[in-house]
Amino acid sequence: MKQLTDYELRDFLVLHKIQRFLNNDQPQWDWRAENGWTEDLKANLLIDLHELLDLPHWRQLVLDAQSSEVELEQWWASSVARALGMDMWAIHWKRLTDNPTQSVLWYQVMEDLTEERLDQIVSLAIEELPLDEIAAGPANESGNIGQQYEPHRCLDFILQNLGPYPGKGIELIRVALRSSTTRNRNMALRALSEWG
């Protein structure tokens, strides 16, 4: 059996997924009960998972991993932090301002989005992303694969979260509507549709 110090962030993610699965009261539980998954067993597992996932050990692992240079460890740390309700905005924002053309960093910042932060995010995108290059004119490029589309993917992560904020980021919507990638244009249209 593992000692607590042997657990890693990816273990938390697996355990958290199991907890969410057990908390999901779908009709399949009737079938599972016939195969030994009793309510007592389910309840005991949920108690054990809650105790394990509530340990302070995880928060320390998150903080330690955020300073890692390994991108996958940073990703795990961000995912665990979100599950624990830890606000990682300052760390994500610093990392993004240091390297504003890396799309995964835009994704992480947008995961921490609040209305108060949106103006700051849009301003950084206008200052740092090659918007003229992105708005080169419509084409039939998906923009999913290839380093040349990294700026487009950065814009995607912003656009996909603009829907609930009418009028915010309109400059980026205009750029996306003239983008060579269908994904940027579709994201812009989706945001405009949500704005009404």
Task: Give the distance from CA 31 to its chain's centroid.
Answer: 34
The residue behind tokens 């998972």 is 49
pLDDT at 1 over 70: no
**Predicted model pTM:** 0.78
What's the rounded Cα separation, in Å, for the pair 75 and 99? 16
Task: Give the distance from CA 4 to its chain's centroid.
Answer: 27
CB 191 within 8 A of CB 173: yes
Report helix angle 103-111 to 115-128, nearest 10. 160
DSSP string, 143-156: --SSGGGHHHHHHH
Beta bridge partners of 141: 181
CA distances 134 to 92, 106, 171, Å, are: 24, 16, 13
Q: Tell which residue, 57, 98, 92, has the closest CA to residue 78.
A: 92
CA distances 35 to 90, 116, 133, 151, 186, Å, are: 48, 50, 58, 51, 46
Tokens encoding 68: 């890692």
The pLDDT tens digits for 145-173 are 778 899 999 999 999 999 999 999 999 99
Tell me what the mean pLDDT of segment 182-186 comes to: 96
What's the rounded Cα separation, in Å, for the pair 167 and 189? 13
The pLDDT tens digits for 106-115 are 999 999 899 9
Which amino acid is it at 113?
L
| Residue-averaged pLDDT of the chain | 89
Q: What pLDDT is recorded for position 21?
A: 87
Task: Report helix, strand or coil for 129.
Answer: coil
Tokens encoding 133: 């290059």
The residue that leads in pLDDT, 42 or 173, is 173
Q: Classify each residue of 52-76 as buried b or exposed e, where b means 16 or more C-beta atoms within 10 Å of its C-beta.
A: bbeeeebeebbeebbeeeeeebbbb
Q: What pLDDT is recorded for position 28?
A: 67
What's the rounded Cα separation, in Å, for the pair 112 and 155? 16
